[in-house]
Structure 1
Amino acid sequence: MEHKEIKFRIICNEKKYLEDILEWYNNTYDTNFEITNMIYDEVNFVDIKSTKFTIEDIFNIGYQFGVEEQRLRQKGEIDW
């Protein structure tokens, strides 16, 4: 579904894991989410934009990213 461009910001300490999730999600669900900016501070954030999405897609990306972070924590690959 085409929409006007949406931009949003999420907490993200490791950009690579989010890039992997976005690539998988875009290929699987025919969306076009992309990272536009990384903000390094005490808490790191990533800006994301898209023009091809549903509200459910935004929720699902957050969910998938959270699941991946938890999986990596359980494997001991990340500790945050």
Structure 2
Amino acid sequence: MTVADAMERIYESLANDNAEIDACIKNLKAALAAEGLKEAVVEPTRLAQNNRQGRKLMQSYFRKKGVTVVFAEA
């Protein structure tokens, strides 16, 4: 699985009320390691909660799971 595929699954999970988000994060973490990347770039416009609080919550949760999240410039 590529990072792009893993990110698509993350967006789908977020759209479906975080269904299986932990498995999606695990896949993303593995894809990042396989591609030699250290952080996932998230498009804020694709988030259900595209505000400061929602983005910080997402960063915090992903960090607990071992994935660093940065947001693309809108």
- TM-score of the superposed pair, with normalisation by structure 1: 0.33
Higher strand share: 1
Higher helix share: 2
